[in-house]
Structure 1
Amino acid sequence: MSRWLNSRLGQRSPSPSEVGFPVGRRALLRGAGAVGALAAVPTLAACGDDDDSGDGGDGSGEVTFGSNEVGSTFAKQRQAAVADFQSKNSGITVKLNEIDHNSFQENINNYLQGNPDDVFSWFAGYRMQFFARRNLIGDVSDVWPLDVTEAFKAASTGEGGKQFFVPQSYYPWAVFYRKSLFAERGYQVPRNINELVTLADKMKADGITPFAFADKDGWPAMGTFDILNLRINGYQFHVDLMAGKGSWESAEVKKVFTQWQQLMPLHQTDALGRTWQEAAQGLHQKKSGMYMFGTFIIDQIPQADREDIDLFNFPEIDSKVGAGAIDAPIDGFCMAAKPKNKAGAKKLLKYLASPDASLQASNLGEPFIASNSKADTAKYTTLQKKSAELVSQAKNIAQFLDRDTRPDFASTVIIPAFQEFIRNPNDANSILKNIESQKKTIFVE
């Protein structure tokens, strides 16, 4: 992995397009971003001018498309998709406005309040809902129904039951392991938390660290918190907490940290001095038995060993809650609140969510997991197929902590709090008190 890439991944969970999974990921967790002008930033230029010329009638004419990728495989995929769309829709031309990933995310607030493109790249869940509540993006409910699961639809829905987002691709967070290690040692995939702990104890007895773990970059531990909260308190509690509606000092959240504290001895020590890439090497070398992480972990596995990597859903903790909720960040597209060519924009959105668009992405050879359930999966790897199966079975899909909440809260409050917990797991109560105190100053409408 290049030094340039490592520098970009320092303070945020990575974009899959940067690590071999071309699914535009999330903004840098710093400064101005998706939730307001946290710092003064220049306005992101969009294609077109200030003339609102209506909805484009039947869609003919120009549609502007703001893409948060330049020069990447994902950028090439979008270029191919645009060419394919235009070949199928005579009379409609698409003008791509390609902006580098970080500039797009960090200037999104000014962009949407200025002169945005008709269609633009964005994320599902809270990041989309935030702008929907402020009437900065358009209702695209009439583009639906699409061939996606109900969980994808829920993540695309804002207040009032309307859809403001069209999903295109995703990847899940799960427990990754090497099939050969499990076969050699006779390990079995656990079905509940007791079986997971029993398995971990066997690994320790065999001289293997049960869980690879790293949090030098601040964001990886969010995945552990997410899955524990989803398993203990359920999806709705989790997303409400992320939206600032629940208390971090509640008995429910304290229960999550108690469980996390109990599981900590099963994880690699000195996590704050280790990157996720280094933790992934432990899994590859069979020094660690499992790793709770995103599918982009495969980037750190040599090609010859990739078919030996498998995954399983983190098992249930409470049978009343079950294991139907997972983190599976979904990427796709939104429409401006007042597009210059509304009909053309909606035709483009419908296409971008289609199997045809997914095929254009798959044809370029990089791993790509389409949201569309009818997409051609012939070129998918075994791990891609397993990922698709896992997500298709999910009842609820969360977007990962730094997408499900405000980026300023994630970066300035959660990262240091979780790192302090990793250093001092016996100090959870004071850590949660501090999170709740800071939350009240940030979640102010």
Structure 2
Amino acid sequence: MSEVESSGSTGSPLSATRRNLLKGVGAAGLTAAGGGLLAACGGSDKKKSESKQPVAGSTVTFGSNYSDPAVKTAFASLTAAATAATKVKVKINTVDHDTFQTNITSYLQGTPDDLFTWFAGYRMQYFAAQGLAEPLDDVWEKIGGNFSAAAKKLSTGLDGHQYLVPIYNYPWVVFYNKSEFAKRHYTIPTTWDEYVALAKQMKKDGIIPIAFADKDGWPALGTFDILNMRINGYDYHTKLMTHKIPWTDQGVHTVFQHWAEILPYTQTGANGRLWQDAAKALEAKQAGMMFQGTNQVAAQYVTDKADLADLDFFTFPAINPQWGQDYMDAPTDGFMLSKKAKNTDAAKAILEYIGTGPAESTYLKTDQWDVGLVNGLQVPTYDAIQKKSVQEIAKCKAVAQFMDRDSDPAMANAMIAICQKFIDDPSSSNITKLQQSAEKQAKAIYS
């Protein structure tokens, strides 16, 4: 049986969350690590000495940021199924997701659990490059056929080794309540002009057009991302995230200008509001729309026992006809093996199970907002949100992982503060100043 401990009850130094950006890793630490990023991978392919513990009957500890009630239940189901399949006991050490991510570096450098929840792409590569994660090439030899080349790439470090077993992804989209749109005769906008016009109409009708919160800092990064990809395209996004395009570029200014156009129709006081409270405004039909991930909004409906069947979404409207609605953020989450794991063989057995269709199906029986990544996965329990998520992600020509995963953690942190300052003052003159600040910080971080 999996043992699930309540948040904060473990005494473990771990802390993590879906995001809130590695606040524990400052720019100086990142600069020091960045200079030897590839060099840090040296020796990462060496095999750890064989675990002397037998696999069956032994115990693996799992550091988890799945602290919200809904995801915590889904994760407990997954680990219970893993125990049944492998005979390995799993002890889950759950920590509040924001705290988890804030302290992730010190956690991995200290006495971490055998396994830990984390994110694909740059987030995974960063800790792999620091030598804080164990390669999983032997696990991928067994599960590789279950995943697409894209999923494997997202799980691969800078040294070419795999370090993560993915479990799901989810789209960032515009949510609304079907009953409210039907009652008010609203139509789904597919262009920017239609989106702005709908927001204006909602404001006239006495409801908040766009529910929004940014006290956590990261939600606003999603708005920047989608505007950037709609206006400038996916390649521009990836180059900007790696500072191959300067933050003072006109394309960035255009992103902020479009954002400023819809701010009058966005829920006020965003910098002092949690995203859960913004979602509640949508649930209560006080707001007409909300742009955020299904991993948050749909999960919040489930947690609050709101009418999930009334919830629907549409992809963010097109702005530049050249790109249409070709791109979106669709972050991938998964699991990693600590370099300091005490029960490596048993931990790998758990990961080998997690990387299968039955494992993803088990997780998704409880999870009503994410979608699995195994090839050809058939999940009878998928609801309308999940079925539509699969379809919309598949339509994309490329998907981004979100600014705080696609860029250097210090840069993402810098952009949190910049976006919050923009929300307080979206004037053109302030946008220019904020761009200059972003570029100055980027030069220091990426040098």
- Give the whole-Å Cα distance in 2 for the aligned partners of 1:321 and 1:203: 27
Unaligned runs of 5+ in 2: 1-5, 9-14, 32-46
SS at match of 1:121: strand
Unaligned runs of 5+ in 1: 8-13, 16-23, 39-50
Any residues of structure 2 matched to 1:251-266 within 5 Å, and which? 251-266=250-265
Instruction: Give 1:224 shift.
Output: 0.8
Per the alignment, residue 353 of structure 1 pairs with: 355
What is the RMSD computed on CA atoms of the aligned residues? 3.9
Is 1:169–1:331's contact at 8 Å kept on the other side of the alignment? yes
Instruction: Give 1:374 shift.
Output: 4.1
Cα pair distance change 1:261/1:342, threshold 3 Å: same
Q: Give the counterpart letter for 2:418 in structure 1.
A: A
- Give the whole-Å Cα distance in 2 for the aligned partners of 1:120 and 1:164: 11
The number of residues matched between the two structures is: 411
Is 2:283–2:306's contact at 8 Å kept on the other side of the alignment? no
**What is the TM-score of this pair, normalised by structure 1?**
0.76
Question: Does 2:93 align with 1:98?
Answer: yes
Per the alignment, residue 381 of structure 1 pairs with: 383
Question: Does 2:235 align with 1:233?
Answer: no
User: Structure 1 residue aligned with 2:116, among 110, 114, 120?
Assistant: 120
Question: Does 2:270 align with 1:271?
Answer: yes
Is 2:368–2:383's contact at 8 Å kept on the other side of the alignment? no
Instruction: Give 1:166 shift.
Output: 1.6
Question: Does 2:145 align with 1:132?
Answer: no
Cα pair distance change 1:321/1:263, threshold 3 Å: same
Any residues of structure 2 matched to 1:260-339 within 5 Å, and which? 260-295=259-294, 296-298=296-298, 301=301, 303=305, 305-336=307-338
- Give the whole-Å Cα distance in 2 for the aligned partners of 1:125 and 1:59: 30
Instruction: Give 1:244 shift.
Output: 4.2
Instruction: Give 1:292 shift.
Output: 0.8
SS at match of 1:211: strand
Question: Does 2:62 align with 1:66?
Answer: yes
Cα pair distance change 1:144/1:362, threshold 3 Å: closer
Instruction: Give 1:352 shift.
Output: 0.7
Compare 308-317 and 375-384 and name the one that shifted more. 375-384
Per the alignment, residue 85 of structure 1 pairs with: 82
Any residues of structure 2 matched to 1:236-247 within 5 Å, and which? 236-247=235-246
- Give the whole-Å Cα distance in 1 for the aligned partners of 2:384 and 2:403: 27
Instruction: Give 1:265 shift.
Output: 2.9
Is 2:71–2:367's contact at 8 Å kept on the other side of the alignment? no
SS at match of 1:317: coil
Cα pair distance change 1:299/1:332, threshold 3 Å: closer
Instruction: Give 1:68 shift.
Output: 1.8
Cα pair distance change 1:289/1:99, threshold 3 Å: closer
Percent identical among aligned pairs is 39
- Give the whole-Å Cα distance in 2 for the aligned partners of 1:323 and 1:365: 27
Is 2:167–2:333's contact at 8 Å kept on the other side of the alignment? yes
Per the alignment, residue 370 of structure 1 pairs with: 372
- Give the whole-Å Cα distance in 2 for the aligned partners of 1:58 and 1:34: 42
- Give the whole-Å Cα distance in 2 for the aligned partners of 1:233 and 1:438: 22
- Give the whole-Å Cα distance in 1 for the aligned partners of 2:215 and 2:265: 18
Q: Deviations over 1:397-425 (max 9, x none)?
A: 323223333444433x2222112111221
Instruction: Give 1:174 shift.
Output: 0.6
- Give the whole-Å Cα distance in 2 for the aligned partners of 1:34 and 1:376: 43
Cα pair distance change 1:334/1:416, threshold 3 Å: same
Compare 226-235 and 65-74 and name the one that shifted more. 65-74
